[in-house]
A and B are shown apart, each in its own frame.
Chain A
């Protein structure tokens, strides 16, 4: 089926029914997944998920509807529902229209044809190899792991004449190695994300999960106090995805829900802290040739040497501020979905690397904390972060010591960015952020020691 033709025809249907503006996404996506439980092959899955999502504006009011599949009667019903919803809401003069027709950017590395040739047993074999490697130590008693391959054809059309399509692929892997010693246990986790098959990534995920399961078996507690903290790329990625990706969301800023509101052009961090948003990186999971509203992909600086330079916009927030969309309308994740209306999101946030190796960072820190995993979100209204250090280690005389149990880190985000005094040179992709380790000169640690 010609997805672009279907998207165009659905736009026309919506306009005929009274839409002043409309965009339509048509997707045809498949995913294969292999899951390992307790070092044994557990499940192989194949999910096919075609669908159509329709967004309609009448007097600025947005109505959205979707249907699973491409069947014409279901699509027709969804168009009619979207139009009817947009008549039920309130007018919005802040809506200034959808993006004008533009040529998609040329971005390499969005789709790897080789992934389409993989069979179920190929993906199963990858998962088993990952698990075997993540469990290659007598102290590892269990490995839970998974590999998934996703492929998608995406077409987008809008009532300003934009019609475009792109093929996207994604390759993801995770491993959790569980180690036991006497009565204690600890797990090491790691994940990898790319738009292409990457054998080295699988090896790195396996080795890292194993290494940290074993490292974590030596345990300690820490006393409450102020410490220098090195954020591993996993922790830095998780925190910055929300702190910068969510904090710089143009709509949150306009509604004064973000701690970054009113700080454009102002200092928000130290000289060595620079972050850009970049959807043009080859094989990065956040890359695309056009965004969820058809705006060509382009990179932009968000924080340059500590200065806040830009917010992230889609057509709505850009129109409200009379600026151009930054191309940050997201259709959700690396593989786009038709199930949700678009919303503002970062693509791949890239933290400018420094020149310190991981060993140099530890040596230079001498005594402090190494935070590898947290799953806590900063409070974007207050600009504060307080969260559990799910996996963290003492830095003792420049070396990684035992893992810390039952401790948290708390810090104001602007203080945190301003306290960044050392940035590593080895970047890793984690949670949509390409970042090296970064060091904060001082953060409040609450401990049980």
Chain B
């Protein structure tokens, strides 16, 4: 049909979702999906077509549509380039599971979720509302391309999450906790998973006496989760090569240059096993690998897919991911973290006379073209002469990509890869994990109400 390069993702997925609220199940969902997405490339532009049908007729029609659209797009493309042939691989893999989620009866998953819900409500009489959920997905994905690659991945992941609301004298606060990973149902049989409800409820109750955060510039200590969010939002997105090539990253032209304190190393690593961000083959059939984005403060590498690697004179480093067959693969993070330093937590706290401890992440976002990012914590604490004091809530932390990691006062040695999360980009969602050690930063703007 005339394409210079083409690839296809065929998927078949099943999954379940259980949601319980306030002691009752809300909805029990079972999903079954199948379909394929086909990309065709010609002279600097792509055509993409997706169909839910897997008959020969519907797949052929999708292929024709993709090829035709690539021609239409090519005719208008100002930037011309080629996809450099990559080594063809034939590979088959299956994510390991001791107990496959498809083999666990729905009743057992419901029982688990109801137990989480109950544990929140029984923790404290001030708990006024609860929400517990469980999700799993098992997907069989085949990727094939015109270079001869043929990969098949049997992927499975699961996640449980709890939210609790506590109420006292008209004040309402929310706490949350989650656990997730690739793998099997054995994860939900751990004490940690069974303790999620208690953890969420404790946070909600704890926050009842919190005050709104004090707005202004502060010295802050970020906990492991917030350091992970910093790594993800402040630098991770700006290191995605598609952002760089689109002219929308402040890191364009900075490769090999110092962008952070020399003690900072920042990594995205999809190969860390038993994490929510894990994958061993990306969605273009390329073997994944660890990416050291910043080493000793110097920008070393961007995350690449087949296209960006070709355009930058490099190879894909296995960073392409699609939410599903009906979305095109784009460059995504996986497990993103700042490497550990050599200071103990106690040393970090002793360095702060007047500042804030920022704990637990809600969400964050960045616009790499504006060079600004923010992330929001669950709770914050005043630090006075190294001692933790007054509790605050909902502080938002913000900064400039090219400044923030030059304001490092100290880096802890207590590395933790944190909670599971989802990252949104281009209308697609990807499972990720963030983490790092406690980190002390100066001159950080903290948003608040007082």
Residues of A within 8 A of B (CB): 34, 37-51, 55, 61-69, 74, 77-78, 81-82, 84-86, 88-92, 94, 120-121, 124-125, 128, 141-142, 144, 176, 178, 185-187, 189, 216, 224, 255-257, 259, 339, 341, 375-377, 379, 381-382, 384, 386-388, 390-391, 405-412, 444-448
Contact = CB atoms under 8 A, between A and B. Distances in A.
Contacts of B256: none
B447 A409 contact: yes
A142 B248 contact: yes
Contacts of A63: 27-30
A382 B172 contact: yes
Interface string B216-234: 1100000000000000000
B398 interface: yes
Contact of B217 (A120, A257, A448): A448
Contact of B77 (A41, A120, A256): A41
Contacts of B173: 381-382
Given A46-B48, A62-B26, A255 B328 contact: no
A437 to B, nearest CB: 21
B115 to A, nearest CB: 13
Contacts of A37: 79, 242, 245-246
A90 to B, nearest CB: 5
B255 interface: no
B213 to A, nearest CB: 7
Interface string B65-84: 11011101110111100000
B72 A81 contact: no
B52 A51 contact: yes
A405 B28 contact: no
B193 interface: no
Given A48-B50, A178-B369, A187-B367, A88 B393 contact: no
Interface stretch (B17-25, B258-266, B281-289): B17-25
Interface in B180-202: none
Contact of B376 (A42, A45, A78, A386): A386
Nearest to B395: A386
Given A85-B29, A120-B68, A90 B24 contact: yes
Nearest to B80: A40
Contacts of B77: 40-42
Contact of B248 (A125, A128, A176): A176
Given A124-B76, A185-B371, 8 more contacts: A43-B46, A43-B48, A45-B50, A89-B24, A142-B246, A387-B374, A405-B400, A410-B447
A45 B69 contact: yes
Given A34-B73, A381-B172, A388 B106 contact: no
B447 A48 contact: no
Interface stretch (B31-39, B333-341, B352-360, B430-438): B31-39
B246 A90 contact: no
Contacts of A124: 72-73, 76
Contact of A384 (B27, B250, B443, B449): B449
B39 to A, nearest CB: 9
Given A48-B51, A49-B52, A410-B215, A86 B446 contact: no
Contacts of B395: 386
Contacts of A406: 372, 398-400, 445
B396 interface: yes
Interface in B1-57: 18, 20-35, 44-53
Contacts of B68: 120
B27 A69 contact: no
B93 to A, nearest CB: 24
Contacts of B70: 44
B332 interface: no
B348 interface: no
Contact of B72 (A120, A144, A189, A341): A120
A259 B374 contact: no
A88 B369 contact: no
A255 B21 contact: yes
B133 interface: no
Secondary structure of the B contact surface, majority rule: strand
B328 A408 contact: no
A78 B449 CA distance: 49
A387 B215 CA distance: 11
A38 B25 contact: no
15 contacts: A43-B48, A45-B47, A45-B50, A63-B28, A66-B31, A69-B52, A85-B30, A124-B76, A125-B76, A176-B248, A178-B369, A257-B172, A381-B174, A407-B398, A410-B215
Q: Which of B30, B65, B69 has the most CB of A within 10 A?
A: B30
Q: Which of A46, A128, A189, A377 has the most CB of B within 10 A?
A: A46
B425 interface: no
Contact of B370 (A68, A216, A409): A216
Nearest to A341: B27
B47 A187 contact: no
4 cross-chain pairs, A with B, having the tightest CB-CB distances, nearest first? A408-B447, A142-B247, A89-B25, A446-B215
B118 to A, nearest CB: 11
Interface in B155-178: 165, 167, 171-174
A145 to B, nearest CB: 11
A339 B396 contact: no
B51 A446 contact: no
Contacts of A390: 367, 370, 372, 374
Contact of A47 (B49, B72, B247): B49
A388 B370 contact: no
A256 B172 contact: yes
Given A45-B328, A187-B248, A255-B21, A381 B26 contact: no
A384 B212 contact: yes
A446 B47 contact: no
Interface in B364-382: 365, 367, 369-374, 376
B448 interface: yes
B7 to A, nearest CB: 13
B47 A43 contact: yes
B72 to A, nearest CB: 5
Given A409-B447, A446-B446, A92 B28 contact: no
A304 to B, nearest CB: 24
Contact of B246 (A38, A339, A410): A38
Given A44-B47, A120-B69, A224-B215, A88 B447 contact: no
Given A45-B69, A255-B22, A257-B129, A447 B48 contact: no
B322 to A, nearest CB: 12
A222 to B, nearest CB: 10
B394 interface: yes
B331 interface: no
Contacts of B371: 185
B326 interface: yes
B358 to A, nearest CB: 13
A43 B73 contact: yes
A256 B128 contact: yes
Contacts of A92: 24-25
A64 B29 contact: yes
A412 B31 contact: no
Contact of B247 (A141, A339, A387): A141
A5 B50 CA distance: 26
A66 B72 contact: no
Contacts of B65: 46
Contacts of A39: 78
A148 to B, nearest CB: 10
